[in-house]
Amino acid sequence: MLNFELLKLLKMNKRIKINQAEPAAYKAMLALENYVETSGLSTNHQDLIKIRASQINGCAFCLDMHTQEAKEHGETDQRIFTISVWRDTSFFNEQERAILALTEEVTLISNKVSDETYNKAAELFDPSYLSKIIMCIITINAWNRIGISTELQPALRNN
């Protein structure tokens, strides 16, 4: 009889690797990611969006990647650890709070994006920057769905 860990390993190995199975689709996703990264959306705003959406969606691979990137970009552990409870801290400024609220509502899109959340973001950001925020949210949600459906796993680090 196989043990649980071996079964889990066997199961993980059965999922496709989209970059190998359908390279054109993966290339298209990378192009969208490249757009977001070079759009002029601040690194800090990208990091907050990617972490919060990945938390909501439960994508361990993306959450691991983007928390490490945020630290490399100078984000503090305290803020990273409290992104999921941002409403209960004073660690995030008005723009960041609007971005986190919009990220939550776009990620949980079946609940709709409220006029209050959208209007607050529209008040704080010009139409171009707001479009970039929304595109970043959409992009990380797509990556989360790829990571979860193909069971991408983060690598264990010794730090």
- Distance of alpha carbon 109 from the chain centroid: 15
In 24-48, which positions are buried (b, 16+ CB within 10 angstroms) versus exposed (e)? Answer: eeeeeeeeeeeebeebebeebbbbb
**Helix, strand or coil for residue 91?**
coil
Dist CA 101 CA 31 (whole Å): 26
The CATH number corresponding to 36-149 among 3.40.50.1820, 1.20.1290.10, 3.40.50.300, 3.40.640.10 equals 1.20.1290.10
- Residues 66-113: pLDDT tens digits? 999 999 999 999 999 999 999 999 999 999 999 999 999 999 999 999
Domains of the chain, by residue range, sit at 36-149
- Residues 111-151: pLDDT tens digits? 999 999 999 999 999 999 999 999 999 999 999 999 999 99
